[in-house]
Amino acid sequence: MTEKAIILALCLLYYFVPDAHCGIDRPRGVPASKASYYKPGETFKCITDGKTIPFEYINDDYCDCDDGSDEPGTSACPMMMFYCENKGHKPEYILSSRYNDGICDCCDGSDEFGGEKIQCQNFCEEIGRKDREDRERLILLQTEGFKVKLSYIQLGQSLQQEKKARLTEIASEKDTYEKLKTDLEAKKNEAEAPEKEAKEKHEKAWEEEKEKKKAVKERETALMAFDEIDANDDQHVEIHEMLLHPEFDIDSDGTVSHDEAKEYLEELERAGQDEFLEKIWPNIKEIFKSKKFSDDVKEVETTESTTEQKEPEVKPQPKRDNWAKHEYGDDDDEDEEEDDEELEDEDYDATTPPPPVEEVPEDKMPDYDEETQKLIDAAEQARNEFNDADRKVKDTENEINTVRQYLDIDFGPEFEYGSLKGQCFEMTDREYTYKLCPFDKASQRPKNGGSETSLGNWGHWSGSEADKYSAMKYEKGQNCWSGPDRSVEVILQCGTENLLLSASEPSRCEYRFDFATPARCIDPATLQPSPKDTHDEL
Amino acid sequence: MAMSTRCAIARSKMSLTKCFILLSYFICQLYAVQRDNFKTCEQSSFCKRQRAYQPAQSPYVALEDSLKITSNTIDIQLLNKDNNVRFLLTIFGLQDNMFRIKMNELSPIKERYEIPVGDALKEEPAQQKINFAGKDKDKFVIKMSNHKLLLSLSPFRIDAYTDETPVMSLNSQGLLKFEQMRIKPEAKPPADDSADENGEEANPQEAVENQEEKVKEEKKEDETGMWEETFKTFTDSKPHGPSSIGIDVSFPGFENVYGIPEHADTMALKTTKSTDPYRLFNLDVFEYDLYNPMALYGAVPLMYAHNEDRTVGIFWHNAAETWIDISSNTADKSVFSHIADFVKGNNEIPQTDTHWFSESGVIDVFLLLGPTPRDVFKQYSRLTGTTQLPPLYSLAYHQCRWNYNDQDDVKAVDANFDKFDIPFDVIWLDIEHTDGKKYFTWAHDKFPTPEEMIKNLSVKGRKLVTIVDPHLKREDGYSVYTDARDRGFLIKNKDGNDYEGWCWPGSSSWPDFTNPVVREWWADKFALSEYKGSTPDLIVWNDMNEPSVFNGPEITFHKDVKHYNNFENRDLHNIYGMYVHQATMEGLVKRSGGKERSFVLTRAFFAGSQRYSAVWTGDNIGEWSHLKVSIPMVLSLNLAGITFSGADVGGFFKNPDPELLTRWYQTGAFYPFFRAHAHLDTRRREPYLLPEENIKIVREALRLRYSLLPYYYTLFYQAEEDGLPIFRPLWVDYPKDKDVFKIDDQFLIGSSLLVKPVTDQGQTNVNVYFPGKDNVWYDIDTYQTYDGSMTINVPAPLDKIPVYQKGGSIIARKLRPRRSSSLMYQDPFTLIVCLDKQGKAEGELYVDDYHSFQYKNGDYIHRQFIFNKNTLSSKNIDPKGQFNTREWIEKIIIVGFPNEPKKITIANSSGENSRILGFQYNENNKSLTIRKPGDNIADIWTLVIV
C-alpha cells in the first residue's frame, strides 16, 4: 500500500466528527456555533470569500478557500484556527499550523490526528480540575486581597482627604503667619530705629573717649622719650644728647653727626619740653629707640609672637589627591576607599592645633547704659518674634509643596496605592538586596555590604493602555557604564500582603521587579464565572 | 565576543578583584586605539623584510643535473646563488587539473613545520601522471593533459599554461625569498654579521651604488628583528631566528581576484599598493573596521582569479602568519608590470600580481587550473573537503544573546516565540551559563536543572547550544583544567612551563589542540556522562579560539609558545582554532556513537574548517555599514569553501533600530547560517519585541527561510559533493558576464534564487541587476517577470525583500508554517516551476531523515523535476537512495505558463493510475496552480497539461 493510499484513508476520517453536545455532525475543527456553515451537501461555500467548492474538499488537506474555511481541521490553510472541544476543560482555538505537528496542544489531543508522530492523551479532566483549583485559589487570593484592598482604598482616600484638608488648613495657616510676619516686621522696624540711635550714641561717645585716651598715652610716651634723651636732666634736649642715640644716624656711617642730630632737632641747638612735643617728637617717634623701652618692647613682642602662634598657621586641608581617587574609582575599590579614609583621619589628628586661648581685649567698650540696653532688648525681642513668624511661613510653604506633590501622584483610580507611599519593601537574591519604595525609588545593594545603587526614581504608571495600573516605571537611576541610566519596570500582581517577589535584569541595566500587593486585587464579584459554568465556543 | 567587552563586566559586578580592574583598564584603552593593538606590516619584521625585497634578478637557479623524474612527480634542486643554500623543489601532478609545487630546504638544520596531512588537506591528494617533455631552450616542459608547466632554470621560475594560454606564473617577479634555518651568530663585530646576511640580498656587484647603501641600511634593522622582536610591551624571543618564505604568483590575463578570507572588505580584492598587504592571522579584533586588509578571526589562504574565459586558483598550504600583496596593471595604472615574455607583445593584457609571504613553514602551493568556476571549487574541495550535510535544524533560525540569564529566561523566550507565532530552532547560551566561566559546568543557581530545560525545548524539536571556549580556568577544583595539566596537555611557554594568559575566567591555560591525543581527550569531554547536564539535544559553540588572550601580543598567544612536536605557535597559529572546533565536532559525533550529525559553530577557522563547523563573521556592530559588509564577507567565506556561514543578525554591539533590525532579518534569512545575537550591554531585541508592524515583516522573512529549507538542504547535499558555494557570487553562474565580476551587494542562493537585500537606511527602491542574457527572472511574491542582462529599479518598501526565482528552475518549498523545522518533517511540498523563455524548467530535491548519518547508507531520496513541452515529470536521479517518508506534494505552481489549460492529468511512471487534477489559472501573472497531486515525494510520476 502506498503512502498516498494511507493519506486518502485518513482524509476520509477527517471529514466529520460526531458531536456529542448537539448531536449534529460537523467537520473536524469546527465549533458547534459554526456547524451551520458546514451542512452536508454537494458543495461548500467558503465563508467569507464566497467561492464555491465541492463539499468533499472540506478538510481534504488542501487549502481551496482564500479565507481557509474549507480546512478547519487540517494545517493546509495557515491562517485558520483549529477548534478543540476540550471536554472537561475549556474549549479553545489553536493555530491550524499547530494541527498535526507532533505536539499535543489541545488537552483532548484532537489536534494530533495523524497518529504517527505522537499519541496524545486526553487530559482535559485533569487540567480542567487543576485549572478550576487554580481558579479557586486565585479567587480566594483575590477575595482575601480585595478585603485588604478595601481598607487600602479607605486609607488612600482618607489620606487624600487628610492631605487635601491639610492643604486648606495649611494655606490658611500660611495666610495667618504671613499677616503676623508683616505685623511683626513693622514692629521690628519700629523697635530697631531707637535702638540704632541709642547704640550709635553710645558707640560715638566711646570712640571719643578712646581718642582722648590715645592722645594722653602719646604724650606720656613722648615725655618719657624726652626724659630719656635729656640725659643731663636740664629739661632741654640738646644736640650732644642726640649724638648718643645711634638711631639718628641718617647715612648709616656708624656715628651720629652733628648735622644729623641738628636736622632732627629742627635746626635748634636745644629744645624745651613744649618744643620737643610739638616739633621734634612727631619726626622722630618712628625711629626713636628707647633703651629702657627696648626691654619692654621685647617683652611685648614675645607676648605677641606667642599669641600669634596660638592661631593655627595652616588649616588642615583634605588631601585632594585622595578625594580625586574616590571620584574616579569605581565600585570595585571599596576596600581601598576605607583605607584612605583611615589615613586621612590620622593626618588630620596630627595637624589639629590646640584650641585657641580667648583674648581679653585691653580696651573694652563699657556696657550700654540702662536706657540703651532696654531699647536693645526690646528690638531683639521684636526680631526674634519676626524670625519666628518668618520660619513658620517657610515651614508652611514647604509643607504645602510636600502635600501638593503627594496629591499630584496618581495613586490609582480609587487611591488604593496611596498608603504604599512612605513604605519600602526588600528582597534578597544570591547577590543583591533589592529595595522598592513605591512612588519614591528603587535600589539595590550587594548582599555582603557595599553602597546602594539607585535603580530609578518614581516615573509613571507603565501598564498597557488597557491596564495602565499593572506596571510602574522607575527611571533615571544611576547611569550604567557605557550604557543607559538604570531603570525598573515593576510588574504588579494581586497578593494578600505587600511583597517584593523577585528582581531580575532582562536587559543590561533595565530591571524588572515583581511586586504583590492587595492594591492590585480585583473584586472577585467581577471575575468571570468558572469555565465549567459556561461553554462558550467563541 | 570580543575581549574588550570585559570593561563592561568589570564595571558592573561589584565583587571582582583588583586584577580585573587593571585588566579592564588595559582593555578599555582599546575603545580609542584598537588599531594600535595590531601590527602593521612595518611592525612585523618578516613582513617588512619580505615586502622590501626587490632584487634586480632572482638569485635562485634550478640545477639541471639534480632533476629526478617519477611518473607523478619531478624533483629538482634550487640554489640560492647569493649564499649557496640548496633547496628541494617537487612538482606533483594531481587529479582534477591541479599541480602542487613544494619547496623546502634540502638539509635544514632544524625541521621546518609542515601541516600534517588530514588536517587542512583532508587526505593525501590523489596524484596524476605527468609527462616530462624534455627541455625547450632553457626551460623544462612538464605536461599533464592539456596543461603544462614551463620551468625556467636561471633564474628559476614556473609558468603554467592551459591550452597554450598562460594562466599563472611563480617567481616571474623574482620575489622568491626563502630564509634558511640558521645558527644564531655569536656576538661578533657587525661587519661579520652583515657578511653572513649578504646572501639574503641581491648581489651587490650587480646593484647600483645607492641601492647597495640602502641594502646595508636595511640589513642593520633586520638583524634586530631577526632574532628578537618587540611589539608594544611584548617581546618575541625568536629562538630559531628568521624563517620566513615568500614568492610571487602572477595571473596573466586576469583583472579580478577573490578569496583569502577573513577580511571586512569587498568581495573583489583590491590592490595593496597604498595599503598594508592583506593579512591572514587569526585575531580577536574588537569592533573591527570595515574595508581594510586587517586580519580578522580566521584565515583561508586560497585565492581565485577569474576572467570571461577561465577561473584559476592558488592554495597556499601554510598555517603561519601570512601577508598577501596584490597589484594589478589595470587597477594600479602603472606600466611597471613585466608581463611574461611569451605574451605576444601585447602590453594591454590585464594582469594581477600577487606576493605571498609567511613567517615560517615551507612553500607548498597548489595550482588550481579550473578552467570553470565549478571546476576550481571542485578542485579545492578535493584538497580540503566540503561541508558535511548539516542536520536540518542547524539551517533554520538560531536565537542567541549574551546572555539568556537563567532557565526561566530561556523558557520565557521559547514561549514568546510561540506566542507570537515566530519560528525558531535553536536557543543559545553564552558564557554566563557556566560556573565561573568554567566550560562544561553550569551556574547552578541559574541553571539548576539543565536537562529539564533542554527537554522543554526538545519536545518542540528545538535544540540548545552552550558555549565551550578553549581557555581553561586555572583552578585546582576544575577537573578539565587539572586533568589537562596533569597529563601535560597544556601549551607551554618558551621556558617549558604551562603557558598562562588572561581570558574570561581570569588566569587561564590552553590545551594543545595540535596534538591528536589532546583532541581525542577533548572530544571525550562531550560524552553525556562527562558533560553533566548535557543531553543529545545540546550542541556546541566554540568562541575565542584564535585564540583570544586578553593580555597577549595582538590579543593572542605569544609566538614563541610551544606546541606538540616542539613547534612554535609561529609555525601554525592559523590552524589552532580549527583543531579546537574539529575536536569538538568529533566529540559530539562520538557522543551518539557516530549515528547523529551534529553542529558546531566556530569563530576562528582555517582551510578545512568547513569539514567540521559553521563559521560566523564575529563581533560585528549594529550599524547599516555592517549589514552591508556582511554580504561580501559571507560571499568570500563561501568562495573559500566555508559555505555554512553568516553574520550576526542585528549586529553584536550597539542597538539597531527597528528598521535596521528588520532589514537585517530580511538579509539574514538568506545567510546559510542564520543567527541573531546581541551583546550583554544591548537592549533586548528578540523579534517579538519589535513594533507590531516589524514583527509581521520579520515573521514573514523567517517563514520564507523556513519554506526554503528543502531548497537549502538540497543545495547543501549537492555541495557536499561538488563544493559549490551556497551563498554565491553572480560570477560563479555567469562567468562570462563582465558586469557581475565585482557585484557584492546581491547574490545567488544556489543557481535558482537571486537576492538583493536592502542594506541602506530609509531606502524603498533598489537597483537589481538581472544576470543572463536569455534569462527571465520571477519575483517570488508577485511572479512579475524581469529580463536578464538588465538593471531595473524595483520598489522595496520595508515589507519587501527583492528575491527572484530564475526562469528555468524548479524549487520545492514547504509552505506550511510551523514552530520549528523538525515539526515540518512530514509536511507536504509545493513545487514552484518557473519557466524559461523556451517553456522549460528543472530542479532537484533531496530528502532524508534530516538528522542522522543514515543517508550515507543510502537512506535518502534524490529527485529531479523536469518541465518540458507541457509535461512535468519526476525522475529518480540517484537510484542508490531509498527512503520512506510521508512527505507528499500538495501543490504545483507553474509560473510563466502562457494560457489557461484545458486539462491536467497525472500518472505514475508506467502510465497507470492516471488521475485528473484540478487547477486554477491566473491570467494576470500567468501562473497555473495545480491542485493536490497528492503523490508521495518518493513517487515517480508524469504530469501532462493539455
d(CA B202, CA B281): 29
Catalytic, B619? Answer yes
Judge: B18–A60 Cβ closer than 8 Å, yes or no: no
The pLDDT value given to residue B330: 79
| CB contact (8 A) between residue B886 and residue A3 | yes
* Boundary (domain end) residue, out of B217, B236, B255: B236
Say if residue B123's pLDDT is above 50.
Answer: yes
Which of B352, B384, B416 lies at the terminal end of a domain, its last residue?
B384
pLDDT at residue A480 is higher than 90 = no
DSSP per position, B356-405 = EEESSS-EEEEEE--SSHHHHHHHHHHHH--PPPPPHHHHSEEE--TT--
Q: Averaged over B131-145, what is the pLDDT?
A: 92
A4 vs B888: CB contact, 8 Å cut-off? yes
Could you report how far apart the first and last alpha carbons of chain B are, in Å? 60
What percent of the residues of chain A are helix, what percent strand, and what percent coil, each to the nearest 5?
50, 15, 35
Say yes or no: B66 and B144 in one domain: yes
Q: Where are the alpha helices (DSSP H) in B126-205?
A: 190-197
CB-based burial label for A349 (10 Å; 0-12, 13-18, 19+): exposed
Q: What residue of A is the nearest CA neighbor of B15?
A: A332
What's the gap in Å between the CA of A483 and the closest CA on chain B? Answer: 7
Question: A406-420, B18-32, B458-472, B739-753: which range is least confident on average?
Answer: B18-32
pLDDT digits (tens, 9 = 90+) for A10-54: 434 444 444 444 345 789 999 989 999 999 889 999 999 889 999
- C-alpha cell recorded at residue B182: 640558521
Q: Determine, yes or no, domain membership for A387.
A: no
Please name the residues in contact with B812: beta carbons below 8 A apart, sequence gap of 6 or more: B710, B711, B714, B829, B830, B831, B832, B843, B845, B865
Claim to verify: residue A323 and residue A283 sit in the same structural domain: no
Point out the residue among A117, A431, A510 whose CB comes nearest to the CB of B683: A510
CA pair distance B9, B679, nearest whole angstrom:
11
The answer to whether B816 contacts A78, with C-beta atoms less than 8 Å apart, is yes
What is the tens place of the pLDDT at every residue in B230-265?
A: 999 999 999 999 999 999 999 999 999 999 999 999
Specify whether B79 is located in the same domain as B227. Answer: no
Bridge partners (DSSP) of residue B906 are B915, B943
Domain identity same for B217 and B76:
no
Tally of structural domains, chain B: 3
Q: Evaluate whether residue A210 is within a structural domain.
A: yes
pLDDT over 80 (residue B530): yes
- Within this chain, do residues A98 and A8 fall inside the same structural domain, yes or no? yes
Phi–psi pair at B31, nearest 5 degrees:
-55, -35
If asked whether residues B188 and B274 sit together in one domain, one would say no
B97, part of any domain: yes
| B74 shares its domain with B200 | no
A137 domain-assigned: no
Question: Shortest Cα distance from B539 to chain A (angstroms)?
Answer: 22
- Rounded to a whole number of angstroms, the distance from the CA of A12 to the nearest CA of chain B is 14
Chains A & B: contacts with CB separation below 8 Å = 104
CA dihedral A475, A480, A483, A486 (to 10 degrees): -20
Closest-CA residue to B65 (of B173, B175, B140): B140
Q: Is the model's pLDDT at B712 over the cut of 50?
A: yes
- Confidence (pLDDT) at A362: 58
Q: Assess if residue A399 is contained within a domain.
A: no
d(CA A113, CA A94): 14
pLDDT the model gives residue B101 = 98
Domain extent, residue A118, equals 3-122
- Least Cα separation, residue B801 to chain A (angstroms): 21
**CB proximity list for B604: less than 8 A, separation 6 or greater:** B282, B297, B298, B542, B545, B546, B547, B576, B577, B578, B580, B581
Residue ending a domain, among A291, A308, A327, is A291
* B231, B236, B241, B245: CA torsion to nearest 10: -60
Characterize A227-243 residue by residue with b for buried, 16 or more Cβ atoms within 10 angstroms of its Cβ, and e for exposed: ebbbeeeeebbbbebbb
**Above 60 in pLDDT, residue B28?**
no
Cell numbers found for residue B861: 531520496
Let me know whether B204 and B347 are in one domain: no
Let me know the angle formed at the C-alpha of B578 by B573 and B583, rounded to the nearest 5 degrees: 125
Note whether B147 and B222 are same-domain residues: no
Query: What is the CATH classification number for the domain harbouring B830?
Result: 2.60.40.1180
Identify whether A311 is part of a domain: no
Is residue A291 less than 8 Å (CB to CB) from chain B? Answer: no
Mention every residue, 6+ apart, whose C-beta is less than 8 A from residue A236: A230, A270, A271, A272
Average pLDDT over residues B84-110: 97
Confidence band, pLDDT 50/70/90 cuts, at residue B586: very high
Torsion of CA B235, B236, B240, B245, to 10 degrees: -130
Establish if A267 belongs to a structural domain. yes
Residue among A64, A103, A510 minimizing CB distance to B460: A103
Using a 10 angstrom Cβ sphere, with 0-12 exposed, 13-18 middle and 19 or more buried, the burial of residue B645 is buried
Q: Is there a single domain that holds both residue A20 and residue A109?
A: yes
Nearest to B461 by CA among B828, B847, B825: B825
Q: How far is CA B894 from CA A109, B350, B864, B888, B925, in A?
A: 38, 45, 16, 18, 11
The answer to whether residues A113 and A180 belong to one domain is no
More confident residue, A360 or B225: B225
Q: Are residues B210 and B298 in the same domain?
A: no
On whether residue A471 sits in a domain, the answer given is yes
How far apart are the C-alpha atoms of B212 and A277, rounded to whole Å?
103
Closest chain B residue to the Cα of A483, Cα to Cα: B681
Which of B209, B236, B263 lies at the terminal end of a domain, its last residue?
A: B236
Query: pTM score, two decimals?
Result: 0.81
Task: Flag whether A434 is in a domain.
Answer: yes
Strand ordering across the sheet containing B941-945: B915-917, B904-908, B941-945, B871-876, B861-868, B841-847, B809-813, B829-834, B889-895, B927-931, B919-922
Report yes or no on B292 lying in a domain: yes
Please, which residues have CB within 8 angstroms of residue B781's CB and are 6 or more apart in sequence? Answer: B800, B803
Contacts of A446 in chain B (CB under 8 A): 14-15
Contact of A2 with chain B, judged by CB distance below 8 Å, is answered with yes
Residue of A nearest to B820 (CA): A101
Domain check: are A430 and A513 in the same one? yes
Q: Is residue B18 part of a domain?
A: no
Answer yes or no: do A198 and A240 share one domain.
yes
Q: What is the mean pLDDT of residues B489-496?
A: 96
Q: Given CB atoms, is A140 within the 8 Å cutoff of chain B?
A: no
Q: Which of A422-431, B9-18, B379-388 has the highest mean pLDDT?
A: B379-388
Residues A342 and A448 in one domain: no
pLDDT at residue A374 in the model = 87
Pairwise CA distance, residues B26 & B474, whole Å: 21
Q: What does the block give as the cell for B235?
A: 617581546
Please report whether residue B61 resides in a domain: yes
- Report pLDDT digits (tens) over A206-234: 888 888 888 888 888 888 888 888 888 88
In one letter, which amino acid is B645? Answer: S
Q: What is the pLDDT of residues B595-618, one digit of tens each?
A: 999 999 999 999 999 999 999 999
Q: Which residue of B has its CA nearest to A103?
A: B460
Residues B910/B916/B917/B920 CA torsion (nearest 10 deg): 130
Which residues lie across from A43 on neighbouring strands? A54
Q: How far apart are the first and last CA of chain A?
A: 41
Is the Cβ–Cβ distance between A27 and A59 less than 8 Å? yes
How far B415 CA lies from chain A's nearest CA (Å)? 13
Which long-range CB contacts under 8 A does B858-861 form with residues at least 24 apart? B858/B882, B859/B883, B861/B885, B861/B937, B861/B938
B156 shares its domain with B191: no
Selecting among B543, B733, B779, B935, the annotated active-site residue is B543
Q: Given CB atoms, is A105 within the 8 Å cutoff of chain B? A: no
Decide if B133 is inside a domain: yes
Question: Residue A330 and residue B21: Cβ atoms within 8 Å?
Answer: yes
* E runs forming strands in B256-362: 256-259, 278-280, 302-306, 311-316, 322-328, 351-358
Q: Which pLDDT does position A330 carry in this prediction?
A: 41
Q: Report whether A419 contacts A152 (CB < 8 A).
A: yes
pLDDT at A93 over 80: yes
What single-letter DSSP state applies at residue A139? H
Average pLDDT over residues B742-770: 98
For residue B702, which of B805, B585, B819 has the smallest C-alpha distance?
Answer: B819
Q: Kindly state the helix (H) or strand (E) to which residue A165 belongs, with its residue range.
A: helix A124-229
Report if residue B25 sits inside a domain.
Answer: no
Q: Which residues on chain A are in Cβ contact (under 8 Å) with B6? A: none
Compute the Cα dihedral for B661, B667, B670, B675 and give only its sign.
Answer: negative
Q: Which residues contact B308 (CB under 8 A, 6 or more apart)?
A: B735, B736, B738
- Is B149 inside a domain boundary? yes
What's the confidence (pLDDT) of residue A334? 40
Per the CB < 8 Å rule, is B932 touching A508? no
* CATH number of residue B297's parent domain: 2.60.40.1760
Determine whether the interchain pair A506/B684 forms a contact, defined as Cβ–Cβ distance below 8 Å. Answer: yes
Cα-Cα-Cα-Cα torsion B746, B748, B749, B752, nearest 10 degrees, comes to 140
One domain, residues B818 and B856: yes
Number of domains in chain A: 4
Do B367 and B315 share a structural domain?
Answer: yes
Q: Give A97→chain B minimum CA distance, Å.
A: 6
CA of A310 vs chain B CAs: smallest distance (Å):
46
Residue B344 is placed in which grid cell? 605576444
At residue A421's C-alpha, the angle toward residues A417 and A426, to 5°, is 100
- pLDDT of A58 higher than 70: yes
Residue B807: CB partners within 8 Å, gap ≥ 6? B775, B776, B777, B778, B785, B834, B835, B836, B837, B841, B896
Whether residue B289 sits in one domain with residue B219? no
Query: Could you tell me which chain A residue has the CA closest to the CA of B919?
Result: A64
Q: Of residues B353, B512, B619, B733, which has the active-site annotation?
A: B619
Same-domain pairing of A110 and A184: no
* Cβ contacts of B815 on chain A, cutoff 8 Å: 78
Interface test with A, best of B27, B422, B815, B816 (most A CBs within 10 A): B816
Interior CA angle at B610 toward B354 and B373, to 5°?
50
For residue B892, the SS3 value is: strand
SS3 B83: coil
Instruction: Please give the average per-residue pLDDT across A328-340, as a whole number.
Output: 41
β-bridge partners, B206? none
DSSP B634-659: HHHHHHTT--SEE-EET-SBS---HH
Q: Is residue B474 within 8 Å of residue B509, measured between CB atoms?
A: yes
Q: Does A193 share its domain with A281?
A: yes
Domain's final residue, options A276, A291, A306? A291
Full residue range of the structural domain in which residue B937 is found: 735-945
Active site residue B543: yes
Instruction: Give CA–CA dist A162/B447, Å, rounded.
Output: 50
Neighbours of A99 (CB within 10 A): 27
Distance of CA A377 to the CA centre of its chain: 44
> Are the C-beta atoms of residues A105 and A111 closer than 8 Å to each other?
yes
The residue ranking higher by pLDDT, B210 or A509, is: A509
Chain A hits for B936, CB-CB cut-off 8 Å, are 2-4
Rounded CA-CA distance A63/B893 in Å is 14
| Mean pLDDT in residue range B462-468 | 98
User: A447 at the B interface (CB within 8 A)?
Assistant: no
Contact criterion met (CB below 8 Å) for A71 and A77: yes
A307 touches chain B (CB under 8 A): no
**Do B295 and B38 meet the contact criterion of CB atoms below 8 Å apart?**
yes
Q: In angstroms, rounded to a whole number, what is the distance separating the alpha carbons of residues B750 and B670?
A: 11
Express each pLDDT in B664-695 by its tens digit.
Answer: 999 999 999 999 999 998 999 999 999 999 99
Q: Do A430 and B445 touch (CB under 8 A)?
A: yes
What is the reported pLDDT for A293? 54
CA Rg value for chain A: 50
Is the domain of A188 the same as that of A287?
A: yes
| A422 interfaces chain B, CB cutoff of 8 Å | no
Contacts of A3 in chain B (CB under 8 A): 884-886, 888, 936, 938
d(CA B703, CA B695): 12
Please check whether residue B925 lies inside any domain of the structure. yes
